[in-house]
Homo-oligomer: A and B are copies of this chain.
Amino acid sequence: MTVTSRGGDHAASPPSGTRERIQAVALRLFSEQGYESTSMRQIAEELGFTKAALYYHFKSKEDIVRALLETMRSEVADLVMWAGSQEPGPDLRRQVIARWTAIMQHQGLRMFRFLSSNYRLVRDIRSDSGQREGMAAAMGRLFAVLTPPNASVEDRLRARFALLVINMTGMASRDIEADEDEILAATARISASLLPPEF
């Protein structure tokens, strides 16, 4: 998955890993400082080379965002595909919460932070690149796993909040002194209690 072309040569070139390193650094800086206040120069210097070298790997700053979006989209799509292959039921819903938590502990939290702080940027980038299916659609299919077919508005909201509280854990626990593990376990219980009742 994610077969995007290099800047200089063609597709599927030997995996130097430079693009991935650029993406990771860029995502970290975007989520910590904001997209606009992170310059191409800063990203490059953090990686030990100059801005011009960066433009060899990505043809523009927005192109880095496009790559980040594709990475996250494919991660969500994978989770949805896995969920679609399982038996529906309370057990599946608990496992979706666990997997979502795992994604959010990887690069996901940074990604989520970036997405919610740059709604317009992301929307505008995605609308000019004719993408097959966006992350919003993938999220919609994920929520469908968590809700009965003709769920009420409240139940549909509950499904969305059940995943959102996981993303908000950092913000909510900033002033709570307790191990991270205890906080994550408590959040998982709260998330499960938010899910709409059995169906």
Contact with B along A31-63 (1 / 0, CB 8 A): 011111100000000000000000000000000
Q: Which residues of B contact A161 (CB under 8 A)?
A: 165, 168, 172, 190
Tell me if A117 and B117 are in contact (CB < 8 A).
Answer: yes
Q: Which residues of B contact A36 (CB under 8 A)?
A: 34-37
Q: Name which residue of chain B comes closest to A168, CB basis.
A: B164
Let me know if A103 is at the binding interface, CB within 8 A.
no
Contact with B along A159-174 (1 / 0, CB 8 A): 0110011001101111
> Mind listing 21 A-B residue pairs with CB under 8 Å?
A32-B120, A34-B34, A34-B120, A34-B121, A36-B36, A36-B37, A116-B171, A139-B175, A153-B186, A157-B169, A157-B172, A157-B173, A157-B183, A157-B186, A158-B190, A161-B165, A161-B168, A161-B172, A161-B190, A165-B165, A194-B194
| Complexed CA–CA distance, A158 and B182 (Å) | 14
A residues 112-130 near B (Cβ < 8 Å) are 116-118, 120-121
Let me know if A178 is at the binding interface, CB within 8 A.
yes
Q: With A34-B35, A156-B176, A176-B157 in contact, is A190–B194 under 8 Å at CB?
A: yes
Let me know if A21 is at the binding interface, CB within 8 A.
no
| Complexed CA–CA distance, A183 and B116 (Å) | 20
Let me know if A101 is at the binding interface, CB within 8 A.
no
Let me know if A189 is at the binding interface, CB within 8 A.
yes
| Complexed CA–CA distance, A37 and B116 (Å) | 15
